[in-house]
Chain A
Amino acid sequence: MSDAIVEDYLRRITAAAADLPADRRDELVAGIREHIEAARSSGQVPDEASLRDLLDRLGDPEEIVATAREDAGPAVGAASTAVPAPPPVLRYRRPSIAIEVVAVVLLTIGSIIPIIGWLAGVIVAWTSRRWTTGEKLLATLVFPGGPFLALWLVTLVTGTSSTCSSSATIGPDGNSVQGPQVCTTTGASLPPALGIPLLVLLVVAPIAVAILLIVRARRRADAEPPIPVYAGEASGWGGLEIAAVLLLAVGGFVVPFAGPLAGLVCAWISPRWTTVEKTVATLIAGIGLVLPALVLLVVVSHI
């Protein structure tokens, strides 16, 4: 209904401007259309009444075109440069929540790289427009370091906390006699009854938060106006982009370093991705580069 009102208004301007040169007419209609879309996407036109009010304030199509007609005079002699017309819209796509997905992946799975992976997730999460400050705090505080840090810490604590030594002595018959077992506890040792639920909580809670945040981001993204896809830019995904993601995600495990680097190149030469998306890809590439390096380090230190 509201679209019909807008289209009708724009048609009236187009009709009134029939005597203007085509490029001037197109520019005028495009400007007014952009104005209406900007008002709508900023949420200032929630209903039909406010839309009519917006069109009222824009004014009578005849009056707008009359202004355009008068302008023909003073502009004579000025350099007439062809206005870059907006490329035609092919179709609309639903807004992507790539940033939010990357944030959540880094906060959970990314925390496998101690501190850095999780920290990258926090940074990405706080750039999101779709989460409230409360939700961003939730993402940050459940739990600092992410599930993998929790896992590592708990393993570390339970692994080193209780060292039991028994003083074995050789008895007169040559057999060893087991002395009284002495357990020394360093750090906080948790009984399994407490430790295991805690471990589950530390791992499950971040995943639950992740799912909640993704669901909310998706819902809010769907409430946003669809994003036009212009002629010349095909879909957001082509062979190049799929290759980039694959190389970035798993390339590092197949060919250390070279894999993610190739993915990085693929991502940055993509004509379809925006700079933000490419930056996100670069962050992921960081993980793909650091992780094999860590594995390599561990392997080397064991030899």
Chain B
Amino acid sequence: MEPGEAQNPLTQLRRGVLEYCVLALLTEDELYGFDLVRRLGENDGLVTSEGTIYPLLSRLRRVGWVTTTWRESDSGPPRRYYAITPSGRHALTGFAAEWSRFRTSVDTVLGSGEHRGEHRE
């Protein structure tokens, strides 16, 4: 991964998709930032710079898809925990259905065009 490369074709797409991945992680449990970032990072290729999750979390909070609470931690400073809201769940359900269709279509089109694609070895 080349850092600072503005032309990574997936940068924009990744950003758009990531916030739903965040919402999906929060459906199971409330998480604090570090934990959330670590769990996203466990998936290959999902997050390039972990720091960009924080502006994204800020946006999710401002649109009302997540809420935050400060909670004492038993080690270190208090942590900001993120929880999904009903509207966040609603948004996630909508995205999940759309994404499924989108992914299938992209795969189909990419697959059908494979003989034309120029693959660098």
A positions within 8 Å CB-CB of B: 13, 24, 27-28, 31-32, 34-35, 37-42, 57-65, 67-68, 70-71, 74-75, 78-81, 83-84, 86, 89, 129, 224-225, 227-228, 274
Q: Smallest CB–CB gap between B49 and chain A, Å?
A: 2
Residue numbers in B under 8 Å from A274 (CB-CB)? 72
Cα A27 to Cα B62 in complex, Å, equals 12
Within 8 A of A (CB), among B65-96: 68, 70, 72-80
Closest residue to B32 on the A side, CB-wise?
Answer: A38
CB-contact partner of B58 in A39, A71, A129, under 8 A: A71
Residue numbers in B under 8 Å from A60 (CB-CB)? 3-4, 49
Interface size on B, residues (CB 8 A): 35
Cα A39 to Cα B70 in complex, Å, equals 17
B52–A67 touching, CB < 8 Å: yes
CB-contact partner of A35 in B33, B55, B56, B72, under 8 A: B33
Cα A116 to Cα B64 in complex, Å, equals 50
A86–B78 touching, CB < 8 Å: yes
Cα A39 to Cα B35 in complex, Å, equals 9
B76–A40 touching, CB < 8 Å: yes
Cα A37 to Cα B62 in complex, Å, equals 24
Cα A78 to Cα B68 in complex, Å, equals 16
Residue numbers in A under 8 Å from B80 (CB-CB)? 31, 34, 86
CB-contact partner of B75 in A24, A57, A80, A225, under 8 A: A225
Cβ contacts A to B, 29 pairs, < 8 Å: A28-B58, A31-B54, A31-B80, A32-B51, A34-B33, A34-B79, A38-B33, A38-B34, A38-B73, A41-B73, A41-B76, A42-B75, A57-B50, A59-B49, A59-B51, A63-B49, A63-B52, A64-B52, A64-B54, A65-B55, A70-B15, A75-B59, A79-B62, A79-B64, A83-B61, A86-B70, A129-B74, A227-B76, A274-B72
